[in-house]
C-alpha cells in the first residue's frame, strides 16, 4: 500500500503540467475565453451618478431651516473627527463631506 502511494506521488511530481491554451499568450489565443463562466455570471458595474451636496447631507428643500441646521451640525461633528484619521479613504470621504456641508450651509444660511 505504501508503495502505491509513493508511485502515485512520483507520477504526479514527474508529470508535466500543461497550460490551457487560453492562458498561453504564445499560442495566439486571448488571455480570457469569451464564453467563460465568470463572464456569463458577472453583472455589469452600475454607473454611479455624482451626488449633489444636498443629497450627500440628506437635506431636502422642504425641511425647515432649524432642522437643516441641526443636521449640518451633526454631520460636521461626525466628519470633522474623521478628517484627522490615518486611513486615507476615511480622510478623503470626510473631506468630501465637509465640503458638501459648507456648500449646503452657504446655500441655506448665506456666506460664512
pLDDT for 28-43, tens place per residue?
A: 555 555 556 656 666 6
pLDDT, tens digit (0-9, with 9 covering 90-100), for 38-84: 566 666 666 667 788 899 898 998 999 999 999 999 999 999 999 98
| More confidently predicted of 47 and 95 | 95
**DSSP tag of 62:** T
Confidence of residue 86 (pLDDT cuts 50, 70, 90): very high
What is the rounded CA–CA span in Å between residue 98 and residue 108?
Answer: 16
Is residue 97's pLDDT more than 60? Answer: yes
What is the rounded CA–CA span in Å between residue 28 and residue 22?
Answer: 8
For the CA atoms of 70, 76, 82, 84, what is the dihedral angle to 10 degrees?
-150
Amino acid at each position: 500500500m505504501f508503495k502505491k502511494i509513493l508511485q502515485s506521488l512520483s507520477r504526479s511530481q514527474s508529470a508535466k503540467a500543461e497550460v490551457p491554451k487560453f492562458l498561453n499568450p504564445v499560442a495566439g489565443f486571448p488571455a480570457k475565453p469569451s464564453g467563460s463562466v465568470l463572464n456569463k455570471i458577472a453583472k455589469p458595474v452600475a454607473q454611479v451618478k455624482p451626488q449633489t451636496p444636498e443629497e450627500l447631507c440628506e437635506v431636502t428643500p422642504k425641511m425647515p431651516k432649524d432642522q437643516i441646521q441641526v443636521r449640518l451640525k451633526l454631520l460636521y461633528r461626525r466628519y470633522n473627527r474623521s478628517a484627522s484619521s490615518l486611513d486615507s479613504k476615511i480622510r478623503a470621504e470626510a473631506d468630501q463631506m465637509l465640503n458638501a456641508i459648507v456648500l449646503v450651509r452657504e446655500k441655506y444660511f448665506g456666506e460664512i
